[in-house]
Amino acid sequence: MATQTSTVTTGRGTPTGGTTTAKPARMKPGRYLSELGWRHVVGVIGVVYAAFPLVYVFSAALSDQGTLTGSNEMFGTLSTANFEALNDTRFWTWVYNTLLIATITAIGTVLMGAAAAYAFSRFRFTGRRVGLTALLIIQMFPQMLAFVAIFLLLIALGPVVPALGLNSKLAVICVYLGGALGVNTFLMYGFFNTVPRELDEAAKIDGASHAQIYWTIILRLVAPILAVVALLSFISTFGEFIIARVLLQSESNWTLAVGLYGWVSDLLEAQWGLFAAGAVISAVPVLLLFLFLQRYIVGGLTAGSVKG
């Protein structure tokens, strides 16, 4: 920062030397708006645009009128009646079902994707390139396109293996895990390639097996991408509707997406107050998971960006 030396005159007229800090010149309003101000305006508009639906739903959850149109006067009335009414429904059963399915699916997705990415990254075998290409092509087609085939398959499996038939949470988990590879494997594959092979060779010299290298060395180094894949898998499974609606037929096995839709599917008897209260509570697990994993993602990326 630029400094300048000035002479300060004391009360007796004796000059003394001193150092003062030059103040930065203020930016003119026109220049500020053209260079920085418009970015702040765009940012504020973006925040308002993204936050308004959330605030509106929260206002509807605190309204005792039970309708969305009654929430036009946001926070006109404050009541916890909608949240208390959730205890008289199957809402908490749906929360349990959703957390169970989403958690198991996220863990399975990470384990399957990491194992496949490690194999593609570290081993050279016949069909490796074809396998990677096949995963990418298959992932281009959404899983929901096959829900008719999945439905017929589970109907046929039900009499043979009841746990994998219709209206089974285990069957839904298996269906979700069937589409766990693809993009997730490619994400992990690219991250695995950034880990130097010299670490594997050094561990082999010390007598470590492939399993020991994978579990004790590689997975710790690729923890950021594991957290990202786990978060994405949890969020996509948490809010998935079509497959869960087709396969889970009894109300006790529904997930949150199916259950909340059931409250507003009938326009004449829509329970918008319960829907809004349930939507607010449903956002809490995803928010907490994101905040928990964000520390590992940011910490891992920061530590990995510094080379010794």
Per residue of the chain (308 residues), give pLDDT as tens.
Answer: 444 444 444 444 444 555 555 566 676 766 767 777 778 888 899 999 988 888 888 888 888 776 666 555 777 778 888 899 999 899 999 999 999 999 999 999 999 999 999 999 888 888 888 888 888 888 787 777 888 889 999 999 988 998 888 889 999 999 999 877 777 888 888 888 888 888 888 999 988 888 888 998 899 888 888 988 999 899 999 999 999 999 998 999 999 999 999 998 877 778 888 999 999 999 999 999 988 888 777 654 544 444 43
**Sign of the C-alpha dihedral computed for residues 172, 141, 261 and 155 taken in this order:** negative
Residue 41, domain member (yes or no): yes
Distance, C-alpha 2 to centroid of its chain: 46
Q: What is the pLDDT of residue 303?
A: 47
Q: What is the pLDDT of residue 210?
A: 84
Residue 106, domain member (yes or no): yes
Q: What is the CA radius of gyration of the chain?
A: 28
The token duo for 14 is 């004796």
| 75 and 110 belong to one structural domain | no
Distance in angstroms (rounded) separating the CA atoms of residues 199 and 221 = 11
Domain boundary among 47, 79, 111: 79
Q: What is the pLDDT of residue 176?
A: 92
The token duo for 114 is 């990491």
The number of domains in the chain is 2
Domain boundary among 79, 107, 137: 79
Residue 271, domain member (yes or no): yes
| 169 and 197 belong to one structural domain | yes
Residue 291, domain member (yes or no): yes
Distance in angstroms (rounded) separating the CA atoms of residues 24 and 34 = 19
Residue 135, domain member (yes or no): yes
| 136 and 222 belong to one structural domain | yes
CATH number of residue 276's parent domain: 1.10.3720.10
User: How many Cα atoms occupy the beta-carbon half-sphere of 158 within 13 Å?
Assistant: 14
Distance in angstroms (rounded) separating the CA atoms of residues 235 and 53 = 19
| 43 and 155 belong to one structural domain | no
Q: What is the pLDDT of residue 305?
A: 42
| 291 and 147 belong to one structural domain | yes
Q: What is the pLDDT of residue 111?
A: 93
Domain boundary among 57, 79, 101: 79
Q: Write out the residue range of the structural domain in which residue 100 sits.
A: 89-304
Residue 261, domain member (yes or no): yes
Residue 47, domain member (yes or no): yes
Cβ burial, residue 102 (10 Å; 0-12/13-18/19+):
buried
Distance in angstroms (rounded) separating the CA atoms of residues 96 and 108 = 18
| Locus of tokens 């005159």 | 9
| 152 and 45 belong to one structural domain | no
Q: What is the pLDDT of residue 66?
A: 66
Q: What is the pLDDT of residue 38?
A: 79
Distance in angstroms (rounded) separating the CA atoms of residues 113 and 134 = 15
Q: What is the pLDDT of residue 20?
A: 56
